[in-house]
Amino acid sequence: MSKVMKAAAVISFTAAIITAGLFCRLGKDIYLTLAITFGTVAYHLGMRLLVGLLYNIGMRNRADFTKKWYQLHAWENKLYQFLNVRAWKDKMPTYDPETFSIKKHTWNEIAQTMCQSELVHETNMILSFLPLLAVKWFGSFWVFFITSVCSAIFDLLFVIMQRYNRARIVKMALREKRKTLGEISQ
Among 35, 1, 44, residue whose Cα is nearest residue 15: 35
Three-class HEC string of the chain: CHHHHHHHHHHHHHHHHHHHHHHHHHCCHHHHHHHHHHHHHHHHHHHHHHHHHHHHHHHCCCCCCCCHHHCCCCCHHHHHHHCCHHHHHHHCCCCCHHHHCCCCCCHHHHHHHHHHHHHHHHHHHHHCCHHHHHHHHHCCHHHHHHHHHHHHHHHHHHHHHHHHHHHHHHHHHHHHHHHHHHHHHC
Q: Amino acid letter at 139?
A: G
129 phi/psi in degrees, rounded to 5: -95, -5
pLDDT digits (tens, 9 = 90+) for 64-78: 998 999 999 989 999
Query: Burial code of 11-30, b = ≥16 C-beta within 10 A, e = fewer?
Result: ebbebbeebbebbeeeeeee
36 phi/psi in degrees, rounded to 5: -65, -45
Q: Are 42 and 9 in contact (CB under 8 A)?
A: yes
For the chain, give every domain's residue range.
Answer: 1-60, 66-186
Q: pTM (2 decimals)?
A: 0.88
Q: Nearest-5° angle of CA 100, CA 106, CA 108?
A: 90
Q: Are 72 and 164 in contact (CB under 8 A)?
A: no
pLDDT of 140 above 90: no
pLDDT of 185 above 70: no
pLDDT digits (tens, 9 = 90+) for 7-19: 999 999 999 999 9
pLDDT of 184 above 80: no
* pLDDT band at residue 139 using 50, 70 and 90 as cut-offs: confident
